[in-house]
Amino acid sequence: MAKVLFVSCFSNGEYHDKDQLIKQLLREAQQKKNLLVQRNLVLVRIVDTILLMRPICRQFNGQPLDIVYQELYDLIKKQLLQEINQYLEQFNVNDINDIVISQWLERIQNKVFRQVLDDNQLKKLGLAAQNYPPQSALRSYALTELIKAIQLSGRLCHPHQERFPAQFYQLLYEEAMIETLTYICLNIDKYDPDRGNKKFMNWVNFRLDKLIFDCYRRSNYLPSQQLSSIQDIEEIYQKENQPFLSEIIYQYIEEDPDNIFKLTHIRNKQNANFQNLALARFSGKNWEEISKELDVAIPTLSSFFQRCCQKFASLLQKKLQE
């Protein structure tokens, strides 16, 4: 594994304030605009300075980064270089004097993290955490890296905002988000990369979606009315006064304990199975989107889905009654 090397920009004692140092380096890069090699060296120094304060891909006890974190670090560094270079193309030396470095750093880092931390990178971090022994210091380190990356990625969903007043929703969301991140730390071994359309954040956001309602229930605002019958999956989904019904059914179909939803599919189209269709509909996709993804005509999909809803209605109703 390659060792991460840093250029220590504070070692000479000339600049004690990182903001002052970064601003000076930005000016220097602009002044060397026509000296490409020298300018690139300054840009690298700027990025290395920023990365000294990075929130993720931190070394564990001074050891070289493991390959997953090293690769992510390299991606972040590359993207930072690109962003700063593009930024400098738009300004001159005098403009840099007006920059509030702390605000500029926050904007550029937020943009870079959201670009780099896609689902694939988050999945790698999740699997890396699984590979370390439970209760070990390395597992704790890996989970800390994962949780920070999830938060920086901007990929946590904000489900069901329309169901609650804004201020109340924010309280529910903050509590649900904390519980979700805690659940990930305690249950990372339950993550299966082959489920949830092989998307790591589907696993995370499904839990967040569920915990929104759990927090709502604990707040004593839960209506007592219960659904007495099911016509089909979409009818459950559209019930505005029953926020728990869709999540119960979603989880049951996703888990598919008897493997019946996945095996029930359109002839010669295994991907066009009831499980995939139901989960897609619950996630908000329309029939046109699903049709394009599966390369199946909308009437065929809709007809098949309605037949399945009727076929599995009693089974799903039984699950609700439990």
Across the 322 residues of the chain, what is the mean pLDDT of every consecutive 10-residue run?
A: 31 57 84 82 91 91 94 96 86 71 87 96 96 92 95 93 84 90 93 87 92 77 36 44 59 86 90 88 79 85 82 77 64
Taking alpha carbons only, the member of 196, 165, 193, 155 closest to residue 283 is 196
pLDDT for residue 224: 36
pTM of the shown model:
0.63
| List of residues 6+ apart from 113 with CB closer than 8 A | 56, 76, 149, 152, 153, 154
Say how many C-beta atoms besides its own lie within 10 A of residue 217's C-beta: 12
By the 8 A CB rule, do 112 and 79 touch? yes
pLDDT digits (tens, 9 = 90+) for 65-116: 999 999 999 999 999 999 998 888 777 666 677 778 888 888 999 999 999 9
Q: Count the alpha carbons within 13 Å of 98 in the hemisphere toward its beta carbon.
A: 5
Distances in Å between the Cα of 62 and the Cα atoms of 58, 66, 286 are 9, 12, 50
pLDDT digits (tens, 9 = 90+) for 112-160: 999 999 999 999 999 999 999 998 999 999 999 999 999 999 999 998 8
Q: How far apart are the C-alpha atoms of 237 and 210, rounded to whole Å?
A: 14
